[in-house]
């Protein structure tokens, strides 16, 4: 008991401050005592929302006047008045006073306040009492006019009473019917209203409090969505690799699919069209070590990525790729760079094998880090360990559709190993998102090694130029 007395005295001394805000007062007839109940069990609360806190100024719902441990009865009456007002403003019916200075409530509090059962009488108090030079808590009396509060994790629960109306005050009529939904499909709105005529306010009376109109969303049925075609896609392959062939193209009615009674797509889902109508290039018969860097970032997109893979295959078909002739090294990059075909992998130096590898390369993600692909080419591909042959010309074709990320290393840094090795870099840019100046930096300042096209389909019309440039003497 001595420890308890010292505890209370310390709190009292700590709270002896001038109250800048007077204690709240209100009629106690606006609430009815219910009893002492447990509030917290396994992280769940019977009354889940804290509305007022007068104990802890750090609380988001702190509301002065602050708890005064020397005037507990006044502090708790003030807290109950604030709590009742906040609860009534929300349209709720029940509130609980907890932990000596907290107000808790909830929308369904009338049904949930007792979900964890009654608390013991010692868990709810209404003041301090002093007897025989001893101090102790005065436990709650439901018949007393004094306000009761719970200790930690315990609510003393109150139910709000209907506020008595003054003579002459207005009263609401019942809500009227909801209007028809303002939309025949999809999400619309309904409204209803009530009037302050039950009774109407007299000249000296108060008007009704609260809204006279309210609305809610309504959804009678989903709106029809007509189907849309996907872009034409080629299947399976063109009848010719160059010089103009024919190919079947297909599209599906899934962009979007028809829904909720919407119309199906109107038009054919298959067609035969021209393909690979670029002039067949004069092949390169010279044995070279040809590296290709392929952009696989999000900006390329699936359809254009497939076109760029066909371009790489057309480049391969224009060379004599075999373990004894030209070798191909293939790097695919986005935020990361990977060697998918190495010079030192003789089993992959076959156009049919390379075709299967390209077909299986489908991963598109991430941002553009061209610097990482160039660094990998210099550190792992064009090296003796990577299979680079000292007596063969080294060519690197870089295919990209966008400028490298701002976090990239400078080209002048990552290109040093390739420059020392004497690798000829041909920079091929697609579209408007890559500037010629950046392509020139990739090509080590040599403008004659820069090729820029407007779209991926136009790559094939630059194939001969790239082949010629690759086959030139060093």
- Domain with 265 in it: 226-277
Are 136 and 206 members of one domain? no
Any idea what the Cα angle at residue 242 is, between residues 237 and 245, rounded to 5°?
55
pLDDT at residue 247 tops 80: yes
Q: What is the domain count for the chain?
A: 4
Report residue 240 CA to chain centroid gap: 46
CATH number of the domain within which 200 lies: 2.20.100.10
Q: Which residues contact 310 (CB under 8 A, 6 or more apart)?
A: none
Q: Are residue 218 and residue 93 in the same domain, yes or no?
A: no
CATH number at residue 325: 3.40.50.410
Task: Give 249-294 pLDDT, tens digit per residue.
Answer: 999 999 999 999 899 999 999 999 998 888 899 999 899 999 999 9
> For the segment 378-387, what is each residue's pLDDT rounded down to a tens digit?
999 999 999 9
Q: Cα separation of 340 and 470, whole Å?
A: 21
- What is the pLDDT at residue 430? 94
**Where does a domain end: 160, 177, 196?**
160
In degrees rounded to 5, what are phi and psi of residue 132? Answer: 50, 45
405 exposure class (CB count in 10 Å sphere: 0-12, 13-18, 19+):
middle
Alpha helices in 244-333 (DSSP H): 302-317
Over residues 77-106, the mean pLDDT reads 95
Residue finishing a domain among 160, 188, 210: 160
Predicted model pTM: 0.53
Look at residue 283 and tell me if it is in a domain.
no
Would you say residue 228 has pLDDT above 60?
Answer: yes
């Amino acid at each position: 008991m001595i420890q308890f007395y010292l505890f209370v005295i310390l709190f009292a001394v700590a709270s002896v401050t001038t109250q800048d805000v007077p204690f709240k007062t209100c009629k106690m007839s606006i609430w009815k005592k219910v009893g002492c109940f447990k509030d917290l069990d396994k992280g769940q609360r019977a009354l889940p929302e804290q509305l007022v806190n007068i104990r802890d100024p750090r609380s988001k719902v702190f509301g002065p006047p602050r708890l005064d441990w020397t005037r507990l009865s006044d502090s708790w009456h003030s807290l109950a008045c604030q709590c009742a007002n906040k609860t009534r403003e929300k349209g709720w019916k029940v509130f609980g006073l907890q932990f000596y200075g907290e107000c808790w409530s909830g929308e369904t509090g009338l049904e949930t306040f007792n979900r964890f059962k009654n608390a013991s009488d010692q868990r709810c108090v209404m003041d301090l009492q002093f007897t025989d030079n001893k101090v102790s808590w005065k436990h709650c009396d439901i018949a007393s006019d004094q306000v009761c509060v719970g200790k930690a994790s315990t609510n003393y629960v109150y139910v709000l009473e209907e506020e008595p109306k003054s003579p002459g005050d207005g009263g609401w009529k019942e809500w009227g019917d909801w209007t028809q939904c303002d939309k025949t499909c999809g999400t619309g709105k309904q409204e209803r209203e009530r009037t302050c005529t039950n009774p109407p306010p007299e000249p000296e009376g108060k008007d009704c409090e609260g809204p006279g109109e309210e609305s809610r969303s309504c959804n009678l049925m989903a709106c029809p969505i007509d189907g849309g075609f996907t872009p034409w896609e080629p299947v399976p392959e063109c009848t010719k690799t160059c010089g103009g062939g024919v190919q079947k193209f297909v599209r599906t009615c899934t962009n979007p699919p028809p829904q909720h009674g919407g119309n199906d797509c109107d038009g054919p889902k298959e067609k035969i069209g021209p393909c690979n109508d670029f002039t067949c290039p004069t092949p390169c018969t010279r044995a070279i070590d040809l590296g290709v860097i392929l952009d696989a970032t999000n900006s390329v997109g699936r359809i254009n990525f497939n076109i760029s893979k066909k371009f790489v295959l057309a480049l391969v078909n224009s060379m004599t790729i075999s373990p004894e002739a030209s070798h191909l090294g293939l790097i695919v990059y986005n935020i990361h760079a990977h060697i998918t075909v190495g010079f030192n992998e003789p089993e992959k130096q076959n156009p049919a094998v390379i075709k299967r590898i390209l077909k299986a390369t489908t991963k598109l993600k991430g941002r553009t880090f061209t610097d990482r692909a160039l660094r990998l080419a210099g550190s792992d591909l064009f090296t003796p360990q990577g299979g680079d042959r000292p007596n063969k010309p080294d060519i690197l074709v870089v295919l990209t559709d966008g400028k490298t990320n701002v976090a990239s290393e400078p080209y002048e840094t990552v290109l040093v190993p390739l420059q020392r090795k004497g690798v000829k870099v041909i920079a091929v840019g697609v579209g408007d998102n890559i500037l010629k100046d950046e392509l020139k930096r990739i090509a080590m300042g040599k403008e004659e090694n820069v090729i820029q096209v407007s779209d991926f389909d136009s790559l094939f019309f630059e194939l001969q130029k790239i082949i010629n440039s690759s086959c030139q003497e060093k």
